[in-house]
Chains A and B, each alone.
Chain A
Amino acid sequence: MTEILYPPLPAGTAVSSAALGMGEKPLTPARLAWRRYRRHKVAMLSTVVLLFIAFMCVFAPLFTKYDPNTQIRANGVLQAFLHPQHGHWFGTNDKARDMWANVLYGGRISLEVGFVVAMVTTIVGTIVGVVAGYYGGWLDNLLMRVTDLFIAIPFLVGTILLSRLPGTQAWARTIMGPPQSVRAVIFVIAVFFWMPVARIIRGIVLSLKEKEFVEAARAAGASNFRIMFRHLVPNCTGQIIINTTLAVAAAILTESALSFLGFGVDAIFTPTWGNLLSNSQDFLDGYPYLVWAPGLAIVLTVLCVNFIGDGLRDALDPKQLSV
């Protein structure tokens, strides 16, 4: 944390200095990017930390002997609000469950929400962006107006109302799963997350589609589908990867915000960092350790993901400096 080091040279120069090494070995764009990424020390460190966090969550049973939903009892009495101690690193919460085990297992769901939302919204956003940008005309107009509409609806208003659907409509339950299930929450967040990607990709495609290689492909008889997804999309890879990364971080934060408002993942047998934090926030004054554990997990993960995004931007999109 204390050493934030950005690439020692402005990004534009970084490309040329990397290009200087071309005499030794032919460098593919991917290798070039990796080289630049490696120079971003904080991003590298973040990658290691994030992988470590993910490892701990996925292999949670290696790090705790408790099941997250087991209630700790001593002589038949529930042991709620135990202070941090040997065996219970973060104490036990009001449900008499081991907080450390909950944070580990909760990470699985939070990371799942983050990654699935990022994947789904990237795919949807990319498709919308490419189609709108490539075809143009009324289709572009229609898709962009729909995008505008989704942007105009306040994010939390949309998510709150959508969260209620599976509880009130049978058809929505079929699509989204039971109310406040992981599936429903992922669905709800994803519905309001795809618009930025769509706009960015559309912008790039608009400028790319006049380029020679597209003309060439068209002349060679390639189908529209092939041009879009074999020629145009690969040229947006850099932007797509960067935005996917940032969406992971944003989705994890959004999940916690929804939990705070009462629309997150049902906390009873499915801990997530978000619902652990919002369940514990009432105890900030009396039992702060219940808050710090999930709070730090969220902050650390989002921090790492953002730094990785920063590093990727430097590596994949050298024209643009890190934001």
Chain B
Amino acid sequence: MFRFIVRRMLWAIPVLIAGSFILFVALHVTTDPVKAAIHHNVSPDALIKFKHDLGLDKPLLEQYWIFLSKFFRGDFGTSYTSGAPVWPELRTALANSLVLGFVAGLFYLTVGIAIGVVSAVKQYSWFDNLSTGLSFFGLAMPPFFFGLVTIVLVGTFYETHFHSSTPLLPFIGGVYSPSTSGFDLVDRIKHLILPGLTLSVQEIAVYSRYMRTGMLETLNSDYMRTARAKGISERRVTLRHGFRNALIPLTTFAGIDFGAVAGGLIITESIFGYNGMGRYFLDNLHNADYPMLLPWMMVVIASVVLFNLLADLSYAWLDPRIRVD
């Protein structure tokens, strides 16, 4: 077990190096930090000095090596644009994305699992049919489209049809309302609702389908029939055996999903101006700010590897028949 974990952790290192190198090359090929810095009317001399200041006149491989050696010594470097250290900003973005990811995750897992369980227990009931229909509808909805629709719905649509002078929910200000200063839990939660819903619309569909399938599979299995035959109440059978066993494969999916949260919220965050990893990526890509982007990539890949590992471990832990190694 321990060996397995260590081996998987070690495997992350070549992936990190390969991933960041690919990104480094891709950035060099498709962007130019010097041209990104031009405001207007800048003399060539100023640009040459700027290029030198950033170390961009060094050979490509040397630039990458400087980054890599610093990174593995724990130095994340400083931004081309602001000269500020990368880590504090990256940390804030990561924390915000994780908050959004986990809050939305809690929501869509709870709702998805609940719908899945009820659909399976009451197979072919009106509830099952309705939730199945809705989940397929959710799967078919482009997320950016859904996000924009929610903004208009809580905005002008709500104000016109409900004769209100304020929108139902705030959608500007990113993490907090403009008037809020300092920590404000309620305001924070309000700002999580719309992006959370946008993230959830497809996920609820996916998880309720997985859960329904898993429950049906276990409910129809032989050992469940045995349990029923023993005279255990249906309620107990469902919750004790069906629910737990159906949850096992779900952990794997959830693990992989959460791993993607670190880098995968680009659309939702850019719609809602939410200061997370997705917006961090787009903003810094626009500035061609390599020192900001490469550690970002490292964090994203590490998170994918880590959560995959956690998923595998929890799978093994929940289902004693499976052994890692």
Which residues on the B side are within 8 Å of A323 (C-beta)? Answer: 209-210, 213
A321 contacts across to B, CB distance below 8 A: 213, 216-217
Total interface residues on A, using CB and 8 Å?
54
Q: Is B165 positioned at the interface, with any CB of A under 8 Å from its CB?
A: no
Residues of A within 8 A of B31 (CB): 164
Contacts known (A284-B148, A285-B156, A303-B137); A161 close to B23, Cβ less than 8 A: yes
Are A298 and B220 in contact, with the CB atoms below 8 A? no
Over the window 109-133 of chain B, the binary record of Cβ atoms lying under 8 Å from chain A Cβ atoms (1 yes, 0 no) is 0000000000000011000011011
Q: Is the pair A299, B129 in contact by a Cβ cutoff of 8 Å?
A: no
Whether A101 sits at the interface, judged by CB under 8 Å, is no
Residues of A within 8 A of B210 (CB): 323
Docked-complex contact A257 and B144, CB < 8 angstroms = yes
Asked if B15 lies at the interface with its beta carbon under 8 angstroms from chain A, I say: yes
A313–chain B nearest beta-carbon distance, Å: 10
Chain A residues within 8 Å of B132, by CB: 4, 6
A-contacting 9-mer, from B50-58, B72-80, B300-308: B300-308
Q: Pick the residue among B22, B130, B137, B304 that contacts A151 (CB under 8 A).
A: B304
- The SS class assigned to the A binding surface is helix
8 Å CB contact of A161 from B30, B152, B209, B220:
B30
Complex-state Cα separation, A249 to B304, whole angstroms? 25
The answer, yes or no, to whether A12 is at the interface (CB within 8 Å) is yes
Contact A10 B220 (CB under 8 A): yes
Q: Which of A153, A167, A169 has most B Cβ within 10 Å?
A: A153
In B229-282, which residues have CB < 8 Å from any A CB? 260, 263-264, 266-267, 270, 281
> Could you tell me if B15 and A148 are in contact, using CB atoms closer than 8 angstroms?
yes
A126 at the interface (CB under 8 A from B): no
- Smallest CB gap from A322: residue in B: B213
Contact A303 B266 (CB under 8 A): no
Assembly CA distance A157 to B144 (angstroms): 16
Let me know if A152 and B305 touch, CB within 8 A.
yes
A323 to B141, CA, bound (A): 17
B18 within 8 Å of A (CB atoms): yes
Q: Which residues of B contact A322 (CB under 8 A)?
A: 209, 213
What residue in chain A is nearest B129 (Cβ atoms)? A4
Separation of A8 and B128 alpha carbons in the complex (Å): 13
Contact status A306-B15, CB under 8 Å: no
Q: Identify which of A153, A161, A249 contacts B19 (C-beta below 8 A).
A: A153
Cα A295 to Cα B145 in complex, Å, equals 8
Binary contact readout A167-205 vs B (1 if CB under 8 angstroms, 0 otherwise) = 111000000000000000000000000000000000000
- Which of A5, A167, A256, A302 is close to B139, meaning CB atoms less than 8 Å apart? A302
Closest Cβ of chain A to B84, distance in Å, is 23
- A302–B260 Cα distance when bound, in Å, is 23
A1–B220 alpha-carbon span in the complex (Å): 28
Whether B216 lies near A10 (C-beta < 8 A) is yes
Nearest Cβ in chain B — how far from A165, in angstroms?
A: 7
A303 to B124 Cα, complex, angstroms = 20
- Dominant secondary structure at the B interface: helix
A contact residues around B26 at 8 Å (CB): 161-162, 165
Contact (Cβ within 8 A) B267 A160:
no
Chain B CB within 8 A of A307 CB: yes
Residue pair B263, A281 in contact (C-beta under 8 Å): no
- By a CB distance below 8 angstroms, the chain A residues around B266 are 154, 156-157, 261
Q: Is the CB of A277 within 8 A of B142?
A: yes
Residues of A within 8 Å of B142, CB to CB, are: 253, 256-257, 260, 274, 277, 295, 298
Is the CB–CB distance between A261 and B267 below 8 Å? Answer: yes
Are A299 and B141 in contact (CB-based, < 8 A)?
A: yes
Q: Is A149's CB within 8 Å of the partner chain B?
A: yes
**Within 8 Å of chain B (Cβ to Cβ): is A121?**
no
For A300, give the chain B residue with the smallest CB separation.
B140
Interface flags for A65-78 (1: CB within 8 Å of B; 0: not) read 00000000000000
- Measured between alpha carbons, how far is A6 from B155 in the docked complex, in Å? 39
Report Cα–Cα, A78/B307, bound state, in Å: 55
Determine the distance from Cα of A152 to Cα of B137 in the docked complex, in whole angstroms: 28
- Chain B residue contacts of A145, Cβ below 8 A: 11, 14-15
User: Restricting to B200-234, which residues have a CB under 8 Å from any CB of A?
Assistant: 209-210, 213, 216-217, 220
Could you name 27 residue pairs across A and B whose Cβ atoms are closer than 8 Å? A2-B129, A2-B133, A4-B129, A4-B130, A8-B124, A10-B220, A12-B220, A151-B304, A152-B301, A152-B305, A153-B19, A153-B22, A153-B23, A157-B266, A157-B297, A161-B26, A165-B29, A249-B140, A256-B145, A257-B267, A277-B145, A281-B144, A291-B145, A298-B142, A303-B139, A306-B140, A323-B213
Residues of A within 8 A of B (CB): 1-6, 8, 10, 12, 145, 148-149, 151-157, 160-162, 164-165, 167-169, 249, 253, 256-257, 260-261, 274, 277-278, 281, 284-285, 291, 295, 298-303, 306-307, 310, 320-323
7 smallest CB-CB distances across A and B, nearest first, come from A154-B263, A302-B140, A164-B30, A303-B140, A161-B26, A260-B144, A4-B129
Q: A284-B148, A321-B213 are in contact. List 20 more A-B contacts (CB 8 A).
A: A4-B132, A4-B133, A4-B136, A5-B129, A6-B124, A152-B305, A154-B300, A157-B300, A160-B285, A164-B30, A169-B29, A257-B142, A257-B143, A261-B267, A274-B142, A277-B145, A281-B144, A285-B156, A295-B142, A303-B140
B interface residues, Cβ below 8 angstroms from A: 11, 14-15, 18-19, 22-23, 26-27, 29-31, 123-124, 129-130, 132-133, 136-137, 139-145, 148-149, 152, 155-156, 209-210, 213, 216-217, 220, 260, 263-264, 266-267, 270, 281, 285, 297, 300-301, 304-305
